[in-house]
Structure 1
Amino acid sequence: MATTQRSEDYQKVSEEPHKNVIKNPYGPNPGDYLSNVTSFKIIESTLREGEQFANAFFTTEKKIEIAKALDDFGADYIEVTSPCASEQCRKDCEAICNLGLRAKILTHIKCDMEAAKIAVDTGVDGVDIVIGASKYLRQHPHGKDMSYIAKAAIDVIEFIKSKGIEIRFSSEDSFRSNIVDLLNIYKSVNKIGVTRVGIADTVGCANPRQVYELVKTLKSVVSCDIECHFHNDTGCAIANSYTALEAGAKLVDVSVLGIGERNGITPLGGFMARMIAADREYVLSKYKLHKLRNLESLVADAVEVNIPFNNPITGFCAFTHKAGVHAKAMLANPHTYEILNPSDFGLSRYIQFASRLTGWNAIKARVEQLNLDLTDDQIKNVTGKIKKLGDVRALNIDDVDSIIKNYHADVHTPQVKPANGPSIPDKDEVLLDSVKKPRID
C-alpha cells in the first residue's frame, strides 16, 4: 500500500545545521552514574514482535528483505519469531542466520528445554527465554509456581550456555509481578551467568516512575545487562524506554512503526527521535538515520498500513510549519520551533504558505523564489489578498502563485483608466468573487 506523499504545497527551506551546545539540556544529567542513555543498544523485533501485529504476514523473501534493511540501518540485534512456532518459522530463522549480517540474530522462546534445543540448532547468536511471572500469567497460561519457574529457567539457561551463545532470561508481565519473586529469580539466573535479564511491560500498564524504580532496584541485585520491552497500550512506550535507560538498563526492544501485539511496542523511529535529542553524536555514529524513511515504508507496505501523519520524523507533518509566527521564526533560525534537525534523517523542513494562517514573511520567501520584485509593503498587501481567499476556501500553491504573479503584474504595469467608463476590476477580486458567486451557464 502506498504511503502518503508530502504535498507540493509546502515551501522547502534551506537546511541550516543545528549547532552543538556545550551542555545538552535534553540529555542525561552528567552526574547520573546509572544512565546508559549515551551507550544503549537496540534489539529490533519487527521480525518477532512485529509478526504478532494484526495485519502481519511476512514471506521468507520479505523477512530477508526486512532483515537486510534493519542490518543496514545499524540494528545491534535482530530478533526473529520462535522456530518452534511452525516449520516455516524454523526455516526462516535458519535462512536469516545464514545471511552473514553484522547484527546478531536472536530468537524468542518459552522457558522449555525442547524449545531451547530447536532454537540452538538454527544457528542463532542468542536465545531469549521468557516465562510469565505475574499472578495472572502463572494462573492461566502455564499454571506453574515460582519454584517451578526458577528450576526450569536454570536448566534451560545452563543448556544454552553450554552451546556458547548469548542468553537472556525475562519475566513476562513484570510490572504486575511480585517484586520479591522477581528479584529472587533474577538473582538466581544472574548467578549462573546469563548475558542479560529482561523486564517486560507486557500489557503496557507501566508509567515512567514505576519503570525507573524497578530498573534501578534490579540494577542493584544483578551484574549482567538489563533489557526492557515496553508495550504501548497507554502511550508510554517511548517514555518508558528512555526512563529505563536512565535507570541503568542497557538494551531496548523496538519494532518498525511500533508494530506488534495489540498497539505494539516502542517504535524504532520514535525512539531514535528521543535518543538523538539526548545524544546526537552517539546516535549518528551508530545508526543510519537517513535509511529510516525507506525502512518504515518497506514495513508499512508489507503490513498494508499508511505511515501516520504525526509519526515522529517521517510523518507527513513532522517538519512542516504553518502558522505565520512559526514561519517567520523558522525562516530566521530553525532552532526556534525544532528540536530535531531534519537533515539528520535525510529530510527537509517545509513552510506551508498556502493558507489563511500564512504570514508575510513566508510570502516574501515565496516571492523571492519566484524571482519577483515586490517591496515589503507590497508583500504585506498581497498577503492580505491571499488571506482573504483563504477565508473562503482551502488554498493550494497555484492559487497563491497566481495571486502573487497577478499582483506583481498589476504593480509593474501602468494602468490607464478609461475617461468615461468603469474601472478595470482587480484580478484577485474576480477570483474571490467567482468563488463566492459561482457562474451559472
Structure 2
Amino acid sequence: MNAMRTVVIDDTTLRDGEQSAGVAFSLEEKIDIATRLAKLGVPELEVGIPAMGAEERESIRILASLKLPARLLVWARMKSEDIQQCAGLGVPMADLSVPASDQQIQRKLGKDRRWVLANIRRCVAQARDLGLQVGVGFEDASRADPDFLLQAAQTAQAAGARRIRYADTVGIMEPFGVHAAISRLRDGLDVEIEMHAHDDLGLATANTLAAALAGATHLNTTVNGLGERAGNAALEEVVLGLRQLYRIETGVDLKKFPALSALVENASGEPLGWRKSLVGKRVFSHEAGIHVDGLLKDPANYQGVDPAAVGRRHTLVLGKHSGRQGVIQAYAQLGIALEKRQADRLLAEVRQFAVRERRSPDDRELADLYRTLPQHSSSPAQAETVLGERPQEVASHRLAVAA
C-alpha cells in the first residue's frame, strides 16, 4: 500500500475528449466544463490544439483569462509552425507530440530515428525560447522499441523538457506491460512521467492505475472516458480507483461529479450506457430480493463502491427478481405501511407487471396495484399521498446519501 502518495490528474476532455468523432464543444460548454473540472480539484487541464486555427486559439485565451485554479496545457505536433502557435495564449505549458514507434516514424512521417532525436532537441529548445514549459508526448510509445523510447526520453530531458508522456495511442497495452514500461522509464529519467491510455481493449483505467503504481507522476483522463475510438481512461474511474485500491490521492473530489458527467454527455452528444461504471443510470440500482434485503440491513453487505463518493445513491428497482422487503420499502416511500400478507400479494402483482410491461411500475401504478387489494388495513387515502414525490433514490435512513 502507498500511504499519503499523490499523483497529478491532467484531464484532456477538452482536447482528446473533443477529438472523438462528431464531438465539437461550444465556447460556453468549454468554459463550463473547465470551470467544473477545476472546482472538483483537477489540477491540470489540456485545453486545446492551437494549430487548429484562430477560433481555437481564441477559446484557449479565454479559458486562460478565467484564471482557474488549474494549470492549463495545450497540445501540438512537434513542428516549428505548430509550436509557434502555442505562444501568447496565456498557457504556460505545451505537450509536443512526436511518434516513437518505427511504424509511425517510417510509415507516417517517412523519417528515421535519428531525425526524431534531432527534432526533439530542436523543438524543445524552440518552445522553451518562447517561454513555454515543455512536455514531450511520445505517440505510439506502446509499440516503440523500449531502448529507443528510453533514448528519446533522455534526449527530451537533456533538451530541457520537464515531462514525457507515454501514449498507448492505439490501446494495445495491458497492466503488467505498462508497469514494466513505466518502471524502466522511471529508472532512467529524472523528469515527470505522464500516462496516456486509450480504451480499445477496455483496459485504459487498469493501465493508468498500473502506470501510477510504477511511478508515473501524471495521468491523462477524460470525463466519462470520452475520447477517440473507444475513448480514454475515465476521470472518475481513475480517481476513485487510485484512492480505494491503493490509497493514492489526486486531490479531486467527485461528490459533485454527476453534474459534470451529464454536462459532457449532453455537450458531446454521446449518451452513456446504463451500466457505465460509476456514472451509468443503473450502476447503483438493485432489484434482486436477496440484494435489496441485504442493503436495507447494512449497505456494506452489497456495496463495493460507496455511491456517495461520486455523488450518487443506491436505487431500489421493483421487478421480476424483487423480494418482499423491496416492495415494503417502495410502498413505505409512498407513505403506505404494508402488512406481510399485503406485501406478498403485491409482490406477485409487481412481478407480473414487470414481466408484462418490461419495466418497473411507477408511483401511480404502485398505488393502483395497492387499491386492487381485496382488503387493506391502511386508509385508501394513503395511496394518494406523496404520489409523484417518491424519490428515485432509496429513502431509507441507512441508504440515503445527499447528492
Q: TM-score range by the shorter chain?
A: 0.7 to 0.9
Give the one of 302, 305, 311 matched to 2:270. 305
CA deviation string 1:144-181 (max 9, x = no partner): 21111111111222233345542111211011111111
On the 8 A contact 2:14/2:48 being kept in 1, the answer is yes
**Unmatched 5+ stretches in structure 2:** 379-403
1:234 CA displacement: 1.3
CA deviation string 1:184-216 (max 9, x = no partner): 111222234321111100001111111111011
SS in 2 for 1:227: strand
Q: What is the letter of the counterpart of residue 270 of structure 2?
A: V
Partner residue of 2:295? 330
Give the one of 290, 310, 314 matched to 1:345. 310
Q: What's the RMSD between the two structures over aligned residues?
A: 2.4
Which range moved further: 364-373 or 49-58? 364-373
On the 8 A contact 1:38/1:279 being kept in 2, the answer is no
On the 8 A contact 2:5/2:247 being kept in 1, the answer is no
On the 8 A contact 2:167/2:195 being kept in 1, the answer is yes
Partner residue of 2:384? none
Give the one of 325, 340, 344 matched to 1:361. 325
TM-score, scaled relative to structure 2: 0.86
On the 8 A contact 2:239/2:249 being kept in 1, the answer is no
On the 8 A contact 2:242/2:248 being kept in 1, the answer is no
Matched, 1:271 2:235: no
State the alpha-carbon separation in 2 of the partners of residues 123 and 242 from structure 1.
31
In 2 relative to 1, CA 374–169 (structure 1 residues): closer, same or farther, beyond 3 Å?
Answer: closer
Give the one of 38, 42, 48 matched to 2:15. 48
CA deviation string 1:41-86 (max 9, x = no partner): 1111111112211121223333223222222222211112221122
Q: What is the letter of the counterpart of residue 300 of structure 2?
A: H
**Unmatched 5+ stretches in structure 1:** 1-28, 32-36, 414-441
Partner residue of 1:198? 165
On the 8 A contact 1:273/1:313 being kept in 2, the answer is no
1:375 CA displacement: 3.9
Partner residue of 1:376? 340
In 2 relative to 1, CA 389–88 (structure 1 residues): closer, same or farther, beyond 3 Å?
Answer: closer
Partner residue of 1:171? 138
Matched, 1:400 2:366: yes
1:377 CA displacement: 4.9
Aligned length: 376
TM-score, scaled relative to structure 1: 0.79
1:92 CA displacement: 1.9
On the 8 A contact 2:327/2:347 being kept in 1, the answer is yes
SS in 1 for 2:171: coil
In 2 relative to 1, CA 225–281 (structure 1 residues): closer, same or farther, beyond 3 Å?
Answer: closer
Seq. identity, %: 25
1:326 CA displacement: 0.7
1:270 CA displacement: 2.7
| 1:89-168 equivalences in 2 (<5 Å) | 89-168=56-135
State the alpha-carbon separation in 1 of the partners of residues 326 and 248 from structure 2.
32
State the alpha-carbon separation in 1 of the partners of residues 90 and 333 from structure 2.
58
Q: What is the letter of the counterpart of residue 335 of structure 1?
A: A
1:258 CA displacement: 2.0
Q: What is the letter of the counterpart of residue 360 of structure 1?
A: R
In 2 relative to 1, CA 393–258 (structure 1 residues): closer, same or farther, beyond 3 Å?
Answer: closer
Q: What is the letter of the counterpart of residue 39 of structure 1?
A: T
In 2 relative to 1, CA 389–171 (structure 1 residues): closer, same or farther, beyond 3 Å?
Answer: closer
Name the larger-Rg structure.
1
State the alpha-carbon separation in 2 of the partners of residues 281 and 171 from structure 1.
25
State the alpha-carbon separation in 2 of the partners of residues 30 and 291 from structure 1.
26
State the alpha-carbon separation in 1 of the partners of residues 137 and 79 from structure 2.
13
SS in 1 for 2:138: strand
In 2 relative to 1, CA 66–374 (structure 1 residues): closer, same or farther, beyond 3 Å?
Answer: closer
